[in-house]
Chains A and B, each alone.
Chain A
């Protein structure tokens, strides 16, 4: 489904990804772990098409198409979904208006007619419930005044609504208490399907207790330096990143 070969990317002339390779097949759940500054979020932003990042080398194909040639909106319509680490607040645009425009943009792309307002409300309320969000939030501005946890649940809610082929979850576990983590994990697990792939990007192992991945990769200085099964995450939890000869750059910077 997703094939990344020798990907190099930079932001403002700072090289962040340095030859990253990754293959993800339909039905698989992958987790990418790594210390702060290793390039995890850059990878997700590059895959979603954020123009602030420049791809300098390498290729990415998504279901056979050259992903890097597609503008962000086309990637989304082809089924790529990014749950943002820091979803932006957009006062004045209601969630309802935004989500309905989104759903109908996807439908239009696939030659399906618009979903009517009543049908949409029913669906939106159902998926809100699935992530324990009060449907009253649909009337509020996009992410406006949401707590960190509500923003993350809103992201997972959107994934459930849009039913993407590939869902990339960028630190969707950060800032969640244990109850919210459980709700988010249940939502993500509900997404697991033979024709769908999930890529989780996380700093910590705790999310992986609830969403057990098929593969775990360790990212360091913009490359995957080790891959394994779920047991690799446990090993990292026990031994830390230092065991692999890398240090947490952010921690080092703070020190």
Chain B
């Protein structure tokens, strides 16, 4: 194999699912822009710790079958949309029927709605060129998406149950998938969107995702993201959020490590009085890798942001947190809090954390803290002195480290799924001694 440092052109050919003209045009533009993309190396600022895990071989370039048969039975009752390899599977979905809420797949969009979708993507964070020294691989999503969802809420629409989007990737042979979700939440509307990323099969595949939220004045949107894909899935996800006046956005993510997992979350507080709260939990074991990159931009004045991320790394795994807060010149009275705590369960595990603050306004409150530690010996002694096994003591203390965040997830099914995944993690990370 040649040691190419540019992206193979094989990655720029979509499969050819029927799409409205404006989306096809956008996709073509993105592909052209990507033709000279240089792949990230360890010298690439935003890929420093993840580049070595990135494996984009030509056999991964082909689109995974759009009609792959999968077991899509879920025990979720309520609004559920299933995507298989990035393409909506209507027969497995249960669309919401609610006045003011419209959920459409790209291939069904009228030309007007397709223009709206294309505009959302053009403005989307994931479609912005990377800053100097960085590489934006989420651009691939714009060049390759085959389908997607446009979710629109009319002003004042309150959706009182979560909308689940199940992203299923079939890893029966090598290939890639490019799911895309666009949410336009009108003024004072309300929505909780759950994205659940799952997979079947064990061939090396790449999933490159885009989720874009646009929040009108006073809109209130919660995004819940759970990642339990198989070990051979390279996952590169990007979530972009634009918030107008007095809107509120919450993000809760739970990630389990894999060969390469990466999530970029970029929030722009563009309207005065808007606020965001970002919670994230990551656990890794074996030789897994997980990289969370977040950016919060305070563009307008009087906005609040609160960010809390916790990582736990076992065995020889590696977790990364890079949290950037950018306070623009006009963003006076900004209030930004960022906390990242990390727990290393073994000597061989690695966690890298990097808070970045860029502040151009002079009247702001900005606090950040990052810690890396191990389980407290005194606490373990206290617990085992009451007859608990070392394993139970370790599990209780490790759970305690992230419970605060898991308990805040506002959707019960996701909390339960997170606990199941975490218990499996503990079973492997702490063998009964």
Contacts and interface: CB of A to CB of B under 8 A. Distances in A.
Interface residues of A, number: 31
B399 A73 contact: no
B388 A105 contact: yes
A50 interface: yes
A25 to B, nearest CB: 23
Interface stretch (A15-23, A30-38, A95-103, A226-234): A95-103
26 contacts: A49-B385, A52-B377, A72-B385, A73-B384, A73-B388, A76-B386, A82-B385, A84-B382, A87-B382, A88-B378, A88-B382, A90-B382, A90-B400, A92-B401, A93-B399, A93-B400, A98-B386, A99-B386, A101-B388, A101-B392, A102-B386, A105-B386, A105-B389, A106-B387, A109-B387, A141-B400
Contacts of A72: 381, 384-385
Contact of B386 (A52, A97, A158): A158
Nearest to A99: B386
Interface in A47-84: 48-52, 71-73, 75-77, 82, 84
Nearest to A51: B381
Contacts of A106: 387
Interface of B: 376-379, 381-390, 392, 396-397, 399-401, 403-404
Nearest to A75: B385
Contact of B383 (A52, A77, A98): A98
A91 B400 contact: yes
B376 to A, nearest CB: 8
Given A92-B404, A93-B396, A97-B396, A102 B381 contact: no
A90 B397 contact: yes
Closest 3 CB pairs of A and B: A92-B400, A76-B387, A102-B386
B399 A92 contact: yes
A50 B380 CA distance: 10
Contacts of B376: 88
B388 to A, nearest CB: 5
Interface in A162-221: 162
A158 B404 CA distance: 25
Contact of A92 (B381, B384, B385, B403): B403
A142 B379 CA distance: 10
Nearest to B389: A73
A48 B382 CA distance: 10
A250 to B, nearest CB: 22
A84 B386 CA distance: 11
A27 to B, nearest CB: 23
Chain B contact residues: over half helix, strand or loop, or mixed?
helix
B387, B400, B401 — which one has the most chain A CB atoms within 10 A of its CB?
B387
Interface of A: 48-52, 71-73, 75-77, 82, 84, 87-88, 90-93, 97-99, 101-102, 105-106, 109, 141-142, 158, 162
A73 B381 CA distance: 9
Contacts of B381: 48, 50-51, 72
Given A93-B383, A162-B387, 7 more contacts: A50-B381, A88-B379, A90-B379, A90-B382, A93-B396, A101-B388, A158-B386
B300 to A, nearest CB: 35
Contacts of B388: 73, 98, 101-102, 105
Contacts of B396: 90, 93, 97-98, 101
A71 B377 CA distance: 15
A106 B401 CA distance: 25
Contacts of A76: 384-387
Contacts of B403: 92
A106 B385 CA distance: 11
Nearest to B386: A102
Contacts of B382: 84, 87-88, 90, 142
Of the listed residues B386, B390, B392, the one surrounded by the most CB atoms of chain A closer than 10 A to its CB is B386
B392 A105 contact: yes
Contact of B387 (A93, A97, A105): A105
B400 A48 contact: no
A103 to B, nearest CB: 8
A101 B386 CA distance: 9
A102 B400 contact: no
B379 A73 contact: no
Contacts of B392: 101, 105
A73 B401 contact: no
Nearest to A86: B378
A101 B388 CA distance: 7
A158 B6 CA distance: 64
Nearest to A79: B387
B343 to A, nearest CB: 12
Nearest to B390: A73
B396 to A, nearest CB: 5
Contacts of A48: 381, 385
B426 to A, nearest CB: 13
Nearest to A82: B385
A162 B387 CA distance: 10
B283 to A, nearest CB: 15
A49 B380 CA distance: 12
